[in-house]
Structure 1
Amino acid sequence: MTQTASDSALSADGEQRRFASLDPRTGEVVAHHPIHTAAEVEDAVSSARDASAWWAGLGFEGRKTKLDAWRRVLSKRADEFVALISAETGKPADDSRVEIALVMDHLHWASRHAGRVLGKRRVSSGMLMFNHSATLEYRPLGVIGVIGPWNYPAHTPMGSISYALAAGNAVVFKPSEFTPGVGTFLASTFSEAVPEYPVFQVVTGFGETGAALCTSGVDKLAFTGSTRTGKKVMAACAATLTPVLVECGGKDALIVDTDADLVAAAEAAMWGAVSNAGQTCAGVERVYVAEEVADEFIEIAVKRALKLKPGGEPSANLGPITMPSQVEIIREHVQDALDRGGKALVGGPDSIRPPYVEPVVLTDVPEDSLAITEETFGPTVVINRVPNALEGVRLANQSKYGLGAAVFSRSRGEELARELRVGMVSVNAVLTYAAIPGLPFGGVGDSGFGRIHGEDGLREFAYPKAVTKQRFKALLNMTTFDRSSLAGKQMLRLARLLFGR
């Protein structure tokens, strides 16, 4: 039984409705994919519902065996996967290789630790309920819908898919319309390892297909994308009280203290800002550097940025802007920063030549400009001077977003990290939290809520089930109408003796 949804979407004249995925570097067609209708999405969820019972019944060890087999298939076909990711996103092959390595690492962690995190365990019943035993376990929700992004089309959605599967759920995945082949590849490789039932399926299409998944009866929906679209997903899911996990945008800041390793900080700032052509939700878009070291830091950062070149050839440092409409947003933010008194240290409006954008480094940009307040999602960065690192933290916390951040300081990195209102912080590095499977990934504010990865990520796709069992009758039984008139007084007296001091 196939684990890829049917390709039977038809137009009014009976022709199959399809769309093309394009290589953003050349505009060439990579492949054609079906536009799945609402009815087909519902069919996929229905078949996943039947499959989920079998999958949950395998238990943690049974699922681990299957997921390990899938991981081996992904490893065996890694070169093919690298080529596909690069073709649909335009990113350099090495970036695709890193993404696949992260996919395998997280899949391994989720399957290995699911039993420990979610399995049945004893809980203390306390002094007042000492005659009862208590247990807690986390049960799978059933069918999880996942709507994924195009910037990291394998690693990001697999942060939900891997953990949902390890927790015992079936999954229906709607990849971005820019990277449908990546989703199809994931589903087809899963079916090689798990051919018995449609535990993991993919549906492809545009916004209508994603909207249909929201209202299809899934037991939870995990979404990664823009804050604007995330609000629409939440509204659609609210009609059926479908819980959601929402990972949206960011405007992440990097703080450079006076005692920072400036070479390392500048290299990290450029990597966080420019890698993947800046199309990283937790990428560095703002840098606040202490005035005392600002000149030296900026000099190093500018030299590094000038060496970075976009292109489609293997030697390029960054690829194209995958989503064409994002180019105008980048242009608007750069121009607004300059119009409001900011200065371009590297590049400028002429750096934007679709589908490529050369690195742009701005400074002295007002805090209320678009390049500071809104997600740019391109290879641009603002470097602003601040009197000290604490002022940088204050400015960083003014953002409506709160996804991730970075701090460079030899002596007080953790102290500064604690003050940042974000879900994740790297100290003396950037983005490292995303590569550690045991850490939760997610933010606050307009960056969304809920967590993928780690123990929290496993629990997102399960519900806690508490069970108590009476072992023997209690001397003071308050759960009967036959209790004595003194029982309540005696119970309160005991509670005050135990807990009132």
Structure 2
Amino acid sequence: MSTLEMVNPATGEALGQLAEATPAEVGQAMIDAREAFAQWREVPLRERLGYMKRLREIIVDQASELAKKISQDTGKVQLESLMSDIYPTVGLIRYYEKKAPSILKRKRVPMTIALFGRFSHVEYRPMGVIAVISPWNYPFQLSLAPVVSALIAGNTVILKPSEVSPFTGQVIGELLEQAGFPKGVVQVLHGGKDVGKQLVEARPDKIFFTGSSATGKKIMAAAAEHLIPVELELGGKDPMIVFADADLDRAVNGALWGGFTNAGQTCMAVERVYVEDAIFEKFVQQLVVKAKALRVGRGEGRDVGSMTYPHQLKIVEEHLKDAVDKGARILCGGRRLNEETLHFEPTVLVDVDHSMRIMREETFGPVIPVMRFSLESEAVQLANDSPYGLNGSVWSKDLHKARRVASRIESGNICINDVMIGIAHPALPYGGNKESGMGRYHGPEGLKSFSHTVSVVTSPGRKKREINWFPYSRDQYTAISELLKDLYGKSFRPSLKGLIKVGTEFFRSK
């Protein structure tokens, strides 16, 4: 049996081991989840929300200890674990506790004149077993957000946390157990790519994956073999456009946090900054001064923690080398603090262009490349010149201009004079365009995306036949022709003559 080594990337400290799930265990988990689904889907929504309330309260009661454990697992500073992993998770749960009944309730839909006499509604039914495959950068939030959404909608869930951050996955399993969910309703399977592949091959009813675009494509291809719906929350290369009339101090501070929080390992991180010519030099000067002042390390009093995954640090170094080889200049940072841990200095570079990997591929590290522009149209073109479309931001005191530019950015999420904050609002849908993925979660969409939307039409059933049924007649043709003209023609107002003909045919069909 294979094991996962749990190590603190900021210290090298061993945190223990976890056994990887075997193929037999994956198969049994699916059997258990399907059996549990038959009962869980029938549990009233108010009772399902009771489990969520209990989970939320447990998380809040243990928040400080949980933040410490997440930091040990990922290397991020403890404030970020509390602020960016735990806080939005409980916020989302609380939002659904209040809003889920109205989101998932049956909705009456008015009938058209042509379907007079019938009634219709839409209802949201659970899909079945949901496989959630979560990432390592925000392993708490990005695991529990889809898990609780799927559970509230009446599904059962199998969660496979990232093998890079298994300690947090273990912690989540313990929390779910404390919340007292019935057997098989939510299960945690640990392991790497093989376990993820086995989970997909076990044919869940939906797959929710958060991670790289490359892996997302493989999962989608495998799911297509069995027409399993997928939701993909993938990578980003998020642009930040700063106009000359922006509040310079706020824009610099926004870039600083947007680029360096969680050591830059955020899919919504600021990875490309475009600054208008008139303020380019001032912006860069202030950004470098403030980047150099950031306190990197571990423990209290630090701003930037370590990176989490050695392979990702290697990618950062490769991107920087490629940029420098092609003419970019590193103004600060650009190196590891030491060889024993994964701390990397906050880095700012200029003289970049779109021929460089650092402007095209997801870097996912504490690096901010800054490029100048002259015209609004140029800024939009540069921002959209990317295979990704997850998040972006526009900075200007002229809100009319900022909204105009924001409306032209090809992205699932946009901020104006702010960065990355959309995901913190539980009522807003979150997701990407292009290679940043498909589907949305959070907000009303976050429950409906884990539901089958079903339309139901009810007839009183008192007539022997309907106007459109056999046998066909000339009067039937005339009546429908009149209705077509009156309802959908130039006048858009039904005539008395047309309605009389339709009514005559209607009553004749009874």
Pick the TM interval, shorter chain.
over 0.9
Residue identity in the other structure for 1:410? K
Deviation string, structure 1 residues 101-154 (Cα, Å, up to 9, x no partner) = 111001111233222122211001111112110010111101100000000001
Deviation string, structure 1 residues 435-466 (Cα, Å, up to 9, x no partner) = 00011111111111111211112111001111
Select 2:365's aligned residue among 369, 373, 378.
Answer: 378
Is residue 212 from structure 1 mapped to residue 181 from structure 2 by the alignment? no
106-115 or 96-105: bigger deviation: 106-115
Matches within 5 A, 1:40-439: 40-98=25-83, 99-349=85-335, 354-411=341-398, 412-439=401-428
Deviation string, structure 1 residues 175-198 (Cα, Å, up to 9, x no partner) = 001222222222322222224332
Q: Which stretches in structure 1 are left out of the alignment for 5+ residues?
A: 1-10, 12-16
Q: Distance in 2 between matches of 1:359 and 1:470?
A: 66
Displacement of 1:80: 2.1
Displacement of 1:53: 2.4
Residue 302 of structure 1 contacts residue 361 of structure 1 at CA under 8 Å; is this kept in 2? Answer: yes
| Aligned partner of residue 419 in structure 1, secondary structure | coil
- Matched residue count: 486
Displacement of 1:473: 5.7
Q: Distance in 2 between matches of 1:294 and 1:351?
A: 29
Q: Distance in 2 between matches of 1:216 and 1:310?
A: 43
Q: Distance in 2 between matches of 1:339 and 1:349?
A: 16
Displacement of 1:424: 0.3
Residue identity in the other structure for 2:194? E
| Aligned partner of residue 20 in structure 1, secondary structure | strand
Larger radius of gyration between Structure 1 and Structure 2? 2
Q: Which stretches in structure 2 are left out of the alignment for 5+ residues?
A: 491-510
Deviation string, structure 1 residues 291-312 (Cα, Å, up to 9, x no partner) = 1111221122111111113212
Select 1:496's aligned residue among 472, 482, 485.
Answer: 485
Change (3 A) 1:475 1:124: farther
Residue identity in the other structure for 1:492? S
Compute the RMSD of aligned alpha carbons. 1.7
Residue identity in the other structure for 2:42? G
Displacement of 1:476: 8.7
| Aligned partner of residue 65 in structure 2, secondary structure | helix
Q: Distance in 1 between matches of 2:181 and 2:154?
A: 16
Matches within 5 A, 1:443-462: 443-462=432-451
Report percent identity of matched pairs. 36
Displacement of 1:494: 0.8
The TM-score normalised by the length of structure 2 is 0.92
Q: Distance in 1 between matches of 2:118 and 2:164?
A: 55
Deviation string, structure 1 residues 4-36 (Cα, Å, up to 9, x no partner) = xxxxxxx3xxxxx32221111122221211110
Residue 336 of structure 2 contacts residue 342 of structure 2 at CA under 8 Å; is this kept in 1? Answer: no
Q: Distance in 2 between matches of 1:294 and 1:489?
A: 71
Displacement of 1:215: 1.3
Q: Distance in 2 between matches of 1:437 and 1:326?
A: 29
Q: Distance in 2 between matches of 1:278 and 1:215?
A: 33
Displacement of 1:475: 11
Q: Distance in 2 between matches of 1:492 and 1:328?
A: 69
Q: Distance in 1 between matches of 2:336 and 2:176?
A: 45
| Aligned partner of residue 348 in structure 2, secondary structure | strand
The TM-score normalised by the length of structure 1 is 0.94
